[in-house]
Amino acid sequence: MAENKIHVDPAEILKQQEIMQAICIENKAKSKQQKACVITYGCQQNENDSERIKGMLQKMGYELTDEREIADVIIFNTCAVRENAEKKLKGNVGALKYLKAKRPNLVIGVCGCMVQQEQIAWEMFKKFRHISLIFGTHGLYRFPELLRKARANTRVFDVQNIDGQIAEDIPVKRDDKFKAWVTIMYGCNNFCSYCIVPFVRGRERSRNPEDVLDEIKALAKDGYKEVTLLGQNVNSYGKDLTENKMSFAELLREVNKIEGIERIRFATSHPKDLSDELISAMAECDKVCKQLHLPFQAGSNNTLKAMNRSYTRESYLETVRKIREKMPDIALTSDVIVGFPTETNEDFEETLSLVKEVRFDNLFTFIYSKRKGTVAEKMPFVLSGKEIQENFDRLVALQNEISREINDTYLGKTLPVLIEGESKTDKSVLQGRTESNKVVNLKGDNSLIGSMQNVRITEIRTWSLNGEL
């Protein structure tokens, strides 16, 4: 593994591995199997971090469970992006007080973005005396060491206001068998005025390309078919690398060469950094799915400026034009915030008109949520809560109509679908995804799970498609 100053010292990783082994021996000596439960809030990056926490817990001899009542260790991996996620978390942590009273050796831990905000973390630590352990996003690789202290009934508070380092060689317990998240970079340099992420995830740090490629080659060997490359802004991957420099477009081309991997996706892309070089790489790499999540957030230049998004409505539309010129059938999705403090009804009309013009396959729509410490926190609202809700409802109705019209064009088509597993709601039905990331339900034998199958679309539903082999 190549090293530079942003990497954790390998001796430190070795130390954590030794602690994992020691805890594993202790756990095996116990009369009953030790169990651990990890609860994840938020984005794909958090899902991927939780897979690392689970990997370390397994290495320490814990059996993973979804049942909090029977777990010896409960870890909440938190999100800071929306206020209601914070409220939900506090409710869930508070509800475990009785369990800790019944079982004093139970370890309750809270980690992730929310508690990377030192003041919030400290308030929680003081208020919820039954929390054994709080650690920020930067302390993830030291989880074994922190857990060892918490197991010895010492309350642990480990939140540091630093950029964090990249830690390789941490065990991972993947939630899926055929598709995997691969984090390629951490942090963000953009400081959108509403967003807390740069404060809790630090500045951009790219993993070395050879580490990323080695991880994906190993996944391919283990039978994984699809990888999603993750970063807060993958388009700026590599800009901070001092040696073995590689752009995100070049990285995509390298991943495309890996035998066994059949599909490549990535998230998230900042529109200002989506280069012509990347559009060409997407178009030319046969394994890169012709699907792109490109958050536009608002359709009005006034709002985009207040959001500090560093692009205009016109430049966003121009980027979409270039993408569609090279990939006419690409499925586009996006994020939109409704009710940003400076947004007027006229500004919102421009969001609606952009949605009509681009015709996204799907939109992730959010009502603006104020976050402490951001520039937007201090901005007064132009619209009332009622007006914002009405605008939000209009946007959702418009997008539902467009999504349905786009989905209707799939009827009767035969498409390759990666069969991912049984449907969560009906075990007799298999579920997979098209290249455009649409969910397809179909009847079939479980032996098909993990394979790519041609599926004819027979029925269109609001959020999914039905099909047959």
Site residues (vs ligand SF4, CB under 6 A): 188, 190-192, 195, 197-198, 232-233, 270
Q: Is 160 helix (H, G, I), strand (E, B) or coil?
A: coil
As measured in angstroms, the least distance from the Cβ of 222 to ligand SF4 is 30
Toward ligand SF4, which CB reaches closer, 44 or 345? 44
Q: For the chain, what's the residue count?
A: 469
Taking the CB of residue 167, how many other CB atoms lie within 10 A of it? Answer: 18
User: 416, 440 in Cβ contact below 8 A?
Assistant: no
Shortest CB 371 distance to ligand SF4, Å: 10
Task: State CA 403 to chain mean position distance.
Answer: 23
Using only C-alpha atoms, the chain has a radius of gyration, in whole angstroms, of 23
Closer CB to ligand SF4, 140 or 337, in the complex: 337
Between 254 and 335, CB nearer to ligand SF4: 335
CB neighbours of 133 closer than 8 A, spacing ≥ 6? 107, 108, 109, 110, 111, 146, 147, 149, 150, 155, 156, 158
Minimum Å distance from CB 75 to ligand SF4? Answer: 24
Please say which residue, 188 or 358, places its beta carbon nearer to ligand SF4: 188
Q: DSSP character for 191?
A: -
The two structure tokens encoding residue 153: 């009934």
Helices (H), 227-365: 248-256, 276-284, 301-306, 313-326, 345-358
Given a contact cutoff of 8 angstroms between Cβ atoms, the answer to whether 286 and 256 are in contact is yes
At residue 384, what is the residue type?
Answer: S
CB 164, min distance to ligand SF4, A: 15
Whether 312 and 352 have beta carbons less than 8 Å apart is answered as: no
**Taking the CB of residue 311, how many other CB atoms lie within 10 A of it?**
18
Is the Cβ–Cβ distance between 112 and 134 less than 8 Å?
Answer: no
* Residue number with CB closer to ligand SF4 (265 or 270): 270
Phi/psi of residue 259, nearest 5 degrees? -65, 135
Query: Whose Cβ is closer to ligand SF4: residue 60's or residue 115's?
Result: 115
Nearest approach, Cβ of residue 72 and ligand SF4 (Å): 35
Query: Shortest distance, CB of residue 310 to ligand SF4, whole angstroms?
Result: 9
In the complex, the smallest distance separating the C-beta of residue 231 from ligand SF4, rounded to whole angstroms, is 9
Q: Which of 154, 156, 138, 147 is nearest to 202 (CA)?
A: 138
Q: What's the closest the beta carbon of residue 315 comes to ligand SF4, in angstroms?
A: 16
* Pick 41 or 143: Cβ nearer ligand SF4: 41
197 vs 331 by CB, closer to ligand SF4:
197
Nearest 5°: CA angle at 335, between 332 and 339? 145
CA distances from 137 to 162, 186, 192, 227 (A): 10, 10, 20, 23
CB of residue 180 to ligand SF4, shortest distance in Å? 22
Q: Considering the complex, what minimum distance in angstroms separates the CB of residue 190 from ligand SF4?
A: 4
Place of tokens 């900042």: 270
Rama region for 164: left / alpha / beta (φ>0; ψ in -120 to 50; rest):
left
User: Least distance to ligand SF4 from the beta carbon of 77, Å?
Assistant: 17
By beta-carbon proximity to ligand SF4, the closer residue of 144 and 341 is 341
Between 23 and 195, name the residue whose CB sits nearer to ligand SF4.
195
Structure tokens at 291: 């699907």
**17 vs 190, which CB is nearer to ligand SF4?**
190
Phi, psi of 270 (to 5 degrees): -90, 130
